[in-house]
Chains A and B, each alone.
Chain A
Amino acid sequence: MNSASCAAKISTQPFSLNPTSLTSHDNPLVFPKPTSLFLGSTRKLRLSSSSKLNLHRRSGTVVAVSDVVKQKKSKSTPSLLITKEEGLELYEDMILGRAFEDMCAQMYYRGKMFGFVHLYNGQEAVSTGFIKLLKQQDSVVSTYRDHVHALSKGVPARAVMSELFGKTTGCCRGQGGSMHMFSREHNLLGGFAFIGEGIPVATGAAFTSKYKREILKEADCDHVTLAFFGDGTCNNGQFFECLNMAALWKLPIVFVVENNLWAIGMSHLRATSDPQIYKKGPAFGMPGIHVDGMDVLKVREVAKEAIGRARRGEGPTLVECETYRFRGHSLADPDELRDPAEKAYYAARDPITALKKYLIENSLASEADLKAIDKKIDEVVEDAVDFADESPVPSRSQLLENVFADPKGFGIGPDGRYRCEDPKFTEGTAHV
């Protein structure tokens, strides 16, 4: 796992209380020198800043999880982090995410889906690393970049693809679209178009979990909620307000920052006074962890700890995953602003390639096993497209159906009957 171990070197420098040692860096990567300090060459931040290991913000509240990961890795006889089954599960999930998103791009350019479509290529390690540790009753809240979160959580590829095609068999009956993936069965609470909007909803889901345990006396209720959001969201008020409330009430939630450095065309460094997001956790009284988000095993280790904390009732955690999106912000984004060298740097750290290498080098799986999974996933995705293509579009009758849970909310018409009793209501042509 060469690329991963290179990255591992950067993010796992010897953890020491001596400040001077933190500033030294051995830089194994070949990389052109940054030209401007202020405009934020991201490279400079990522390579030279070892202060991201400075986890000593508040005594006792910050867990040096990266430390644990590093120690495990530096043992001479590596004890493996995963079993074969787990490894194949992780691989399959990431391949599904990648293949699905690639198919989305194809379908978009063929005019099968419209609007804003935000693809997750490159960030699969975060979704897989976290969500594969959850139970079905745990909740996930995402943003508009939610296709892969939905898939990892267990929403069938068919349902997601149909939703993207706007068909009635979609997970939201075609009414949500790319940015609003919901699944009650799998406890995926969205899919939100405005950034930051989902974080309070996630906080509410975590509040319900605590409420169930303490008020409704469901003693074994230990449901955890994960809130995924990006670096741009970390400058939004809802983020800070929810960090406060979650820590205040020790809610079982993990705040997962998918820091891919770019909010459309705005570099994280140009938008943020202190770009190290994980540092903001301790300011609210929760641990802040930084992890290499291109390495699914590292993410998984951190996730285990954070989710475990939440399950045990110890409160929230802020996890910053350093990751990257290989495509533009959305399919409408020409992606001209990012430096090709930066893209190449992260392409070399492709999480799928890295995991593949790990599995093969540690004899957890053979090439054939992985090829079989690739083929299987190709079929799943093809099947999803076929299913979506053949599914019917929503009929007019669906127009008014889900506006209210109780359709009496449309009120009483001039004839004295509730509007929803009008036969035209079910046809979708009633005047409401």
Chain B
Amino acid sequence: MAATFHGVGATVAALSSSSSPSNSFGSKKLLSSPSRSFSVRKRASFTVVRSDGSVNFDLNSKGRRAQQLIANAVATKADSSPASSSSKPGHELLLFEALREGLEEEMERDPCVCVMGEDVGHYGGSYKVTKGLATKFGDLRVLDTPIAENSFTGMGIGAAMTGLRPVVEGMNMGFLLLAFNQISNNCGMLHYTSGGQFTIPIVIRGPGGVGRQLGAEHSQRLESYFQSIPGIQMVACSTPYNAKGLMKAAIRSENPVILFEHVLLYNLKERIPDEDYICNLEEAEMVRPGEHVTILTYSRMRYHVMQAAKTLVNKGYDPEVIDIRSLKPFDLYTIGNSVKKTHRVLIVEECMRTGGIGASLTAAITENFNDYLDAPVMCLSSQDVPTPYAGTLEEWTVVQPAQIVTAVEQLCQ
């Protein structure tokens, strides 16, 4: 277990060390061959968790509900069945490239889509998500703003009210604390206070989460602060497939959507379909079906959970892992079905213990599915501690796979 743990750490280190703009493409060398769908190396020097398999699970669960949901589109073209998508070769790319691809495709599709943020234009974005877009679309459509989050977020909201579809980037999600006024008061509320007259089809996105020793202020989880704001939707991407899909869905949505990316996930590699597709904003993603326990997670913790899942499988457990993806609102159907099957819930999140997504999810599950639970909902969150700089301390503030394994064992007693 310790070896696996360090393996993950090494992966993460490898990923993060090559996330600097200058050698972001160097990380390709470090990743395993793309043909494996769930590759694990014995000595676990690094691991690549692939989500190819999840596409099938996704589509299956959607198939059951196809008649009930309105306008549900995982893929927008007719030939989106699993058979045809696996027959098409698809193309491989890294998560930040997937985000860029999604953004670029939407910008080509609709001239009202524009980007605003610090260093999104000439610099290409601090994590290269908008690289090349300014050259292609011009300096007004990919707008380099001064360092004034509150005001340029508000400007994005005003632009959205008057017909544009801006994608506002927070260079780090933490910086959006400065834009809280605009996000809460205007972004979330204006549709309502104007009696439905003005829509705000804005997307606010950026990297957040605990990185590799970035320090307390660059390691914040803003999803916990924003979740109370009425009128917004929040989604978190975790794989290149859902990153592109969620980006596109968010841009097409008439609601204001906050898309949470994670600093350590930008260099994940995956093969994604060539054809146009979106991921439903309100749905969760089944990562690994199982019988014994439901593990709910999102963003980076998904990988810690999958790492722990390997150990658990070896120990004879069969965890069901769901990436909730939609942080607000929760997909209570997918989650509920899982709870009804396994009767045990473990939430693994990166938010702090107090007032995080996990806290809300615990409440929602207890409220809705109490009768189906054989044990109290367990929630593993980060410590209520400003993320320390020191690597060892930082490790101990976030949930590690070992803790997940212990928690499952405890739950399943």
Contact = CB atoms under 8 A, between A and B. Distances in A.
Check if A and B associate. Answer: yes
Interface of A: 139, 141, 170-177, 180, 182-184, 189-194, 197, 199-212, 214-216, 237-238, 241-242, 244-245, 248-249, 401-406, 408-419, 421, 432
B161 A205 contact: yes
A160 to B, nearest CB: 13
A408 B70 contact: yes
B159 to A, nearest CB: 4
B194 A190 contact: yes
B196 A173 contact: yes
A203 B255 contact: no
Given A191-B193, A197-B181, A244-B148, 19 more contacts: A190-B193, A201-B154, A204-B162, A205-B161, A208-B159, A208-B162, A211-B114, A237-B150, A241-B146, A241-B150, A242-B151, A402-B191, A402-B196, A404-B233, A405-B199, A408-B281, A409-B231, A409-B255, A415-B333
B226 to A, nearest CB: 14
Interface stretch (B25-33, B41-49, B314-322, B323-331): B323-331
Contacts of A418: 69-70, 282
B153 interface: yes
Interface string B75-106: 00000000000000000000000000000000
A139 B162 contact: yes
A403 B192 contact: yes
A421 B111 CA distance: 32
A405 B155 CA distance: 20
Given A200-B155, A417-B68, A173 B332 contact: no
B353 interface: no
A405 B191 contact: yes
B190 interface: yes
Given A244-B148, A411-B326, A183 B197 contact: yes
B148 A241 contact: yes
A300 B53 CA distance: 67
Contacts of B331: 411-412
Nearest to A415: B333
A245 B196 contact: no
B21 interface: no
A204 B114 contact: no
Interface string B130-165: 000000001011000110101111111111111110
B57 interface: no
A431 to B, nearest CB: 9
In this complex, the member of A141, A174, A180 whose beta carbon has the largest number of chain B beta carbons within 10 angstroms is: A180
A173 B331 CA distance: 31
Contact of B146 (A170, A205, A244, A417): A244
Interface of B: 65, 68-71, 111-112, 114, 138, 140-141, 145-146, 148, 150-164, 181-182, 185-186, 190-201, 230-231, 233, 253-255, 281-283, 326, 328-334, 336, 368-369
A417 B336 CA distance: 12
Contacts of A184: 194, 197-198
Given A180-B193, A200-B158, A207-B159, A414 B332 contact: yes
Contact of A173 (B162, B181, B195): B195
A360 B304 CA distance: 81
Contacts of B185: 192-194, 197
A405 B197 contact: no
A413 B255 contact: no
B154 A404 contact: no
Contact of B158 (A170, A207, A405, A406): A207
Contacts of B199: 405
A245 B197 contact: no
B413 to A, nearest CB: 27
Contacts of B368: 414
A413 B140 contact: no
Nearest to A179: B193
A172 B192 CA distance: 8
A206 B70 CA distance: 36
B333 A412 contact: yes
Instruction: Please give me the 5 A-B residue pairs with the lowest Cβ-Cβ distance, nearest first.
Output: A204-B158, A200-B154, A411-B329, A173-B195, A182-B194
Contacts of A409: 231, 233, 253, 255, 281-282, 329
A199 B151 CA distance: 8
A197 B237 CA distance: 30
B194 A176 contact: yes
Contacts of A206: 158
B336 A202 contact: no
A171 to B, nearest CB: 7
B159 A417 contact: no
Contacts of A203: 151, 154-155, 158
Contacts of A245: 145-146, 148, 151-152, 155
B158 to A, nearest CB: 2
Given A173-B195, A241-B151, A402-B191, A205 B255 contact: no
Contact of B195 (A182, A417, A421, A432): A182
Given A197-B185, A245-B152, A416 B159 contact: no
A215 B111 contact: yes
Nearest to A206: B158
A172 B195 contact: yes
Nearest to B201: A405
B152 A200 contact: yes
Contacts of B164: 207-208, 211
A404 B68 contact: no
A189 to B, nearest CB: 6
B140 A182 contact: no
A416 B68 contact: yes
Nearest to B200: A405
A238 B150 contact: yes
A408 B282 contact: yes
A69 B272 CA distance: 66
A414 B70 CA distance: 16
Q: Max chain A CB contacts within 10 Å: which of B162, B192, B326?
A: B162
Contacts of A417: 68-69
A57 to B, nearest CB: 21
Nearest to A204: B158
Contacts of B140: 210-211, 214-215, 249
Nearest to A172: B195
A214 B138 CA distance: 10
Nearest to B114: A211
5 contacts: A141-B158, A190-B190, A241-B146, A412-B334, A417-B69
B111 A405 contact: no
Contacts of B190: 182, 190
